[in-house]
Chain A
């Protein structure tokens, strides 16, 4: 009897340890390997801190939409994206993390941004989103993809300008109008 319990106990300890190791592997793959692989994949096709146009043919896009995208990294600095607000039925700008899903607090659209008297809007990508102006919260993923989508544009869309600024630098101190 005593031996049976010893054998069963040994199996139990071994299985619990093995399952913990397996769970750790899965967690590591999901939290580290998958986002890194996805970042690596789109880093090869999307410019860093510089918007490019995409026709949507690689992502089940729509021909009524224009897609402008860049990768971002705001681990040490804030980014300020400036562009003239497009004349369009709808537009939105958002940050997408390691799983290519939009981040919490990381999306604005034509109804939610402030547009200055010259017709521009300025969006700050930051790890400290409680600042003046419009911010995209990147705390969940300090590196990722920034996508600007314009639906049914009525004019040619210019590429937004991306500026790297020190964290927390007030908008007024940044030369805003491109």
Chain B
């Protein structure tokens, strides 16, 4: 015969469980609100800036994809990212080479593999700087990265291997359709 639990205790445990469930629901709602905040901040800030992708948490879709598949940051590599729109014209990146063993520029919409231009194959301007163009039309300039026709939103990646400093010595200027979205410069 199973002894019956005292009524007071069972009702207390029941209320504890209900309260814990309420906490869990509040927690989930807070997480959803945070994701909404990140999405909103990502796409509606008028002048986004380069930022370091320390945990790849800048783009919820990409973060979610990586939780389910591949999601990591390598300890020997720095990633600087900038959200951009590809449906507003060509994305043009202008800067100067940074001091690192290797660096490259590419873009992602999700977590796919796209073309890139790196310190190994970039064509420098006569003044020592570079201009990289991401576009959907025919190639423009020597450093052109073709963007998928369906691309609307995306993230530029500035990947640095073994940089000489903790930060790139110069973050490049970025324009979309001729409109400056990140002024570039030193940190």
Instruction: Give me the interface of A with B, judged by CB distance under 8 Å.
Output: 14-15, 17-19, 21-22, 25-26, 34, 38, 41-42, 45, 55-64, 89-90, 92, 94, 96, 100-102, 107, 109, 147, 149, 151-152
Contact = CB atoms under 8 A, between A and B. Distances in A.
A49 B64 CA distance: 27
Interface residues of B, number: 40
Contacts of A151: 102, 161
A100 B116 contact: no
A59 to B, nearest CB: 3
Q: Interface on chain B toward A: helix, strand, loop, or mixed SS?
A: mixed
B116 A64 contact: yes
B39 interface: no
B102 A152 contact: yes
A162 B74 CA distance: 22
Nearest to A10: B12
B164 to A, nearest CB: 14
Interface string B63-86: 000111111111110000000000
Given A63-B116, A101-B72, 16 more contacts: A19-B23, A22-B27, A42-B70, A59-B66, A59-B71, A62-B113, A64-B116, A90-B101, A92-B76, A94-B75, A100-B66, A100-B72, A101-B73, A102-B74, A147-B72, A151-B102
Contact of B19 (A18, A57, A62, A64): A18
Interface string B1-45: 000000000001001111110111001000000000000000000
B5 to A, nearest CB: 16
